[in-house]
Amino acid sequence: MPRGQEPLLQRPGSQNSNDRIEEEDALLTGERTNKAQEGHQHVRSRWREIGLFTWALLATVVVIILGVLYQHKQSEQPSNGDDGSVIPKGKRNLIFMVSDGMGPTSLALTREWRQYTEQLPYDDTLILDDHLIGQSRTRSSSSLVTDSAAGATAFSCGSKSYNGAISVLPDHSPCGSVMEAAKRMGYTTGLVVTTRITDATPAVFASHVRRREMEDEIALQMVGATHPLGRMVDLMFGGGRCHFLPNGTDGSCRADDRDVVKEAAGEGWNYISSREEFDNMGTSAKLPLMGLFAGGDVPYEIDRRSQDEIYPSLEETARSALEILSAETKDSEQGFFVMIEGSRIDHAGHANDPAAQVHEVLAYDRTMAAVLDFIKDSSVPTLMVSTSDHETGGLAAARQLHPEYPDYLWFPGVLANASHSAAYTAHEWHEYLRAKHDAGISELGHTETVAAKAFLMSLTRKSLGIEDATDDEMNSLMNKPDIAAYVFADMISSRAQTGWSTHGHSGADVNIYTSDPKAAKALAGNHENTDIGAFLTNYLELDAELQAVTKELQQHMSSLHPEEIEAFLGSIPDLTERLDGQDHLDHYHGDHKRYAACGSCTV
Ligand SMILES: *[C@@H]1O[C@H](CO)[C@@H](O)[C@H](O)[C@H]1NC(C)=O
Ligand SMILES: *[C@@H]1O[C@H](CO)[C@@H](O)[C@H](O)[C@H]1NC(C)=O
Ligand SMILES: [Zn+2]
């Protein structure tokens, strides 16, 4: 109870209290007191006194309550940053969402496809659309077209770096990440993705290497086994289990025999690897917690839908992560910082597969809705900021198919008819060819060719909703099975009249979204991607700690011998090397069945 309240409550007991109250009342009402009046007016004045006293007491109580409310409000009053952002004081949470490879056209395509499939009016928009505040310029230090590693390093360190850099600077030395600084300041931290947890975007928050393809080393750093500062993440949900299993064991893709799951247990990690364990962990989940639900990437949403009993969706893992992080920080001084990534919007862009992409973007939209739900119910001030690292594919919502004057349209119905990704469809085709090969048929004779074409017709109908495959398309699929995924994707794209200008990334500006335009005011308008990193650090008030972490990492590096530096960060890449991590392009990432290129199949 505030100190000022006591004397006021004691007042009625004191001798001359009525007079004082009358005086105070007079001050409040502007009327004069009348002490001289006695005698026959006594009873009346007595009633008057009681009335005044009651009035004054009520007024005082109201003043006190208002005062207390005001004081309470003052102490919660957020501070205005130099940049105009309204940042809460005290405990807070930050949810950073990344839509990897999603450009503005991905939004138009998904919005219109959803309106078509759900028969919604033209002004029925995505959740994302309601939260747009700005745009980010994405170039890296080495190219006008960034990759995800340099793009994410701009978020984690707030610095531009070269394509392929995992939280290292252009001089190849490590830079502290906002997650490392947050962890050291008492925040609980998390990473939730649909790609490999060792892929570039999650990797930059909790590891430092000079080349993004060093995923075996990244896995060890992320669990804390080889990170110079120890374990920096408390929760990881995603794919990429193969980098945590020792070589020679089932499902491993490690080059060495280190058992990272075991080493992680040594660092205190709890580990789950299946949908069943995910469903059963309930609220008893204990941090640190690592959930790796796929050997490689979690399948595209368009394919995952029919394997829901194997893989949880991004919306589910994100919801669960927020619940766990919020329960874990319920009684702690600091909140949490989590990065949630719609990782495979990018892969659908690389594959030039518009059907896979719209499902990925919509899954991201649902995840954002889940995040906003969480924020609405959270008693701790929580901010969501979302952006992309770059655009992928150079997507266009139109396509000129002939030299004649182009049509002003595209056909969302074609995407709506597809039930699987082009990658999944190519995988089915490869399985068919492999079965033939395994049966000793390496050269398809007339009968087998007819049968193979019939299989392809049925496959494209079932998987892509295409009934009218052309001879050219069939011949490409028969003669060049290696590029079948691209052929299938183009069968969809050309029929939908959607255009792509590259199988890689583009230099387009990307969107910035937030749950609170006031808190994220600094990100309104057009920004450099490094401003987003600076904002994350600023929102959590970690500027000094981020510098301290960078200094410590750099000192650690200076204390090492050259060969130890290479073991830690990897060798310095030369400028002609490709470091954009595009080796994954032709692969189907679902691991429910194994894919191996059918190199020896001759058809
Ligand atoms: C497995 O890793 C060890 C080193 O950790 C290496 O000596 C061995 O050759 C590897 N085996 C295979 C099959 O790659
Ligand atoms: C989608 O599939 C239906 C049923 O097979 C078909 O009638 C329709 O023409 C298809 N739409 C497009 C745009 O291909
Ligand atoms: Zn990419």
pLDDT of residue 44: 62
Closest to 588 (Cα-Cα) out of 357, 428, 423:
423
Q: What number does the ligand 2 atom closest to the CA of 466 have?
A: 14
Task: Provide the whole-model pTM.
Answer: 0.85
- Report which protein residue has its CA nearest ligand 1's atom 4: 256
Residue 3: pLDDT over 70: no
Confidence class for position 45, pLDDT limits 50, 70, 90: low
CA distance 7 to 2: 11
Closest residue CA from atom 9 of ligand 1: 256
Question: What pLDDT score does 78 carry?
Answer: 58
Task: Write a three-state SS string for 397-418.
Answer: CCCCCCCCCCCCCCCHHHHHHC
Judged against a pLDDT cut of 80, whether residue 108 lies above it is answered with yes
Residue with tokens 């058809």: 603
Is 390 annotated for ligand binding?
Answer: yes
| pLDDT above 70 as % of the chain | 83
CA distance 582 to 502: 13
SS (H, E, C) 159-227: CCCCCCCECECCCCCECCCHHHHHHHCCCEEEEEEEEECCCHHHHHHHCCECCCCCHHHHHHHHHCCCC
Separation of CA 471 from chain center = 42
Residue 417 alpha carbon to ligand 2 centre in Å: 6
> 3-state secondary structure string, 489-502?
HHHHHHHHCCECCC
Nearest-CA residue for atom 5 of ligand 1: 256
The closest alpha carbon to 477, from 413, 432, 447, belongs to 432
Is residue 149 pLDDT above 70, yes or no? yes
Query: Per-residue pLDDT for 398 more than 80?
Result: yes
Pocket of ligand 2 (CB under 6 A): 411, 413-414, 417, 465
Ligand 3 mean position to 318 CA, how many Å?
22
Of the pLDDT bands very low, low, confident and very high (cuts 50, 70, 90), residue 57 is confident
Which ligand is located closest to the Cα atom of residue 138?
A: 3
Side-chain-side CA neighbours of 16 within 13 Å: the count stands at 5
Query: Which pLDDT score is estimated for 34?
Result: 45
On whether the CB atoms of residues 421 and 583 are closer than 8 A, the answer is no
276 CB less than 6 Å from ligand 1? no
- Give the contacts of 350 (CB within 8 A, at least 6 positions apart): 101, 392, 393, 503, 504, 582, 584, 585
Burial class (CB in 10 A: 0-12, 13-18, 19+), 187: buried
283 annotated ligand-binding residue: no
Is pLDDT at 320 greater than 50 in this prediction? yes
Per the CB < 8 A criterion, the answer to whether 569 and 174 are in contact is yes
Residue 249 CB less than 6 A away from ligand 1 = no
| CA 467 distance to own-chain centroid | 37
Res. 21 pLDDT band, cuts 50 70 90: very low
User: Is 100 labeled as ligand-binding?
Assistant: yes
CB of 247 closer than 6 angstroms to any ligand 1 atom: yes
**Residue 442's pLDDT is what?**
78
Residue 583, phi-psi category: left (phi > 0), alpha (psi -120 to 50), beta (remainder) = alpha
pLDDT digits (tens, 9 = 90+) for 197-251: 999 999 999 999 999 999 999 999 999 999 999 999 999 999 999 999 999 999 9
Is 257 near ligand 1, meaning CB less than 6 Å away? yes
- Residue nearest (by alpha carbon) to ligand 1 atom 8: 256
28 pLDDT more than 60: no
d(CA 449, CA 465): 22
Which residue carries 């600076």 as its tokens?
Answer: 534
| The two three-digit tokens of residue 7, written as one number | 């004397």
User: Mind telling me the catalytic residues?
Assistant: 148
What is the rounded CA–CA span in Å between residue 508 and residue 44?
Answer: 83
| Nearest CA among 215, 198, 301, 297 for reference residue 254 | 215
pLDDT for 58: 75
Contact 263, 220 (CB under 8 A): yes
pLDDT at 18 over 70: no
CA of 582 to the centre of ligand 3 (A): 7
Q: Average pLDDT of the chain?
A: 88
Cα 526 to Cα 519: distance, rounded to the nearest angstrom: 17
Ligand 1 lined by 468 (C-beta under 6 Å): no
**Which amino acid would we find at residue 568?**
F
Do residues 352 and 486 make contact, with C-beta atoms less than 8 angstroms apart?
A: yes
Specify burial of residue 149 (Cβ count, 10 A radius: 0-12, 13-18, 19+).
buried
State yes or no: pLDDT of 23 exceeds 60.
no
383-393 tens-digit pLDDT = 999 999 999 99
- Does pLDDT of 8 surpass 90? no
Query: Closest ligand 1 atom, CA of 258?
Result: 5
Pocket test for ligand 2, best of 116, 117, 411, 417 (most atoms within 8 A of CB): 417
pLDDT digits (tens, 9 = 90+) for 113-123: 999 999 999 99
CA distances from 288 to 188, 236, 271, 502 (A): 10, 8, 9, 40
| Backbone torsions φ then ψ of 575, nearest 5 degrees | -65, -20
Tell whether residue 505 is among the known ligand binding residues: yes
Distance 367 CA to ligand 3 centre (A): 20
Tell how far the Cα of 281 is from the centroid of ligand 1, in angstroms. Answer: 35
- What ligand has the least distance to the C-alpha of 583? 3
Shortest-distance atom of ligand 2 to CA 416: 1
pLDDT at residue number 444: 85
When mean pLDDT is compared across 23-37, 177-191, 272-286, the lowest value belongs to 23-37
Q: Which atom of ligand 2 is nearest to the CA of 414?
A: 13
- Residue 515: its pLDDT value, please? 98
Residue having the nearest C-alpha atom to atom 10 of ligand 1: 256
Task: Determine which residue's CA is closest to atom 7 belonging to ligand 1.
Answer: 256
What's the distance, CA 349 to chain centroid?
17
DSSP SS3 for 291: strand
359 alpha carbon to ligand 3 midpoint, in Å?
17
* pLDDT single digits (tens) 257-283: 999 999 999 999 999 999 999 999 976
Task: Name the strand (E) or helix (H) holding 336.
Answer: strand 336-342
| 373 annotated to bind ligand | no
- Cα(270) to centroid(ligand 3), Å: 30
State residue 292's pLDDT score: 98
Give me ligand 3 centre to Cα 37, in Å. 91
Comparing CA positions, the residue from 482, 411, 233 lying closest to residue 336 is 233
pLDDT, average across residues 421-428:
97
Asked whether the predicted pLDDT for residue 593 surpasses 60, the reply is no
Check residue 282 and give its pLDDT.
Answer: 75
CB 113, CB 520: distance < 8 Å: no
Q: For a substitution probing ligand 1, which of 216, 243, 247 has the most ligand atoms within 8 Å of its CB?
A: 247
- Residue 85: predicted pLDDT: 75
Strand pairing partners for 387? 98, 512
Summarize pLDDT for 479-525 with one digit per residue, the tens: 999 999 999 999 999 999 999 999 999 999 999 999 999 999 999 99
Convert the pLDDT of each residue in 334-378 to its tens digit: 999 999 999 999 999 999 999 999 999 999 999 999 999 999 999
pLDDT of residue 19: 44
| Cβ proximity of 515 and 371 under 8 Å | yes
Of all residues in the chain, the percent with pLDDT exceeding 90 is 77
Q: Which of the residue ranges 32-41, 155-164, 256-265, 458-467 would you say has the lowest mean pLDDT?
A: 32-41
Those residues whose C-beta lies under 8 Å from the C-beta of residue 373, and which sit 6 or more positions away, are none
Mutate to test the pocket of ligand 1, among 254, 256, 262 (most ligand atoms within 8 A of CB): 256
Least confident of 75-79, 288-292, 463-467, 526-530: 75-79
Instruction: Say which ligand is closest to the CA of 504.
Output: 3
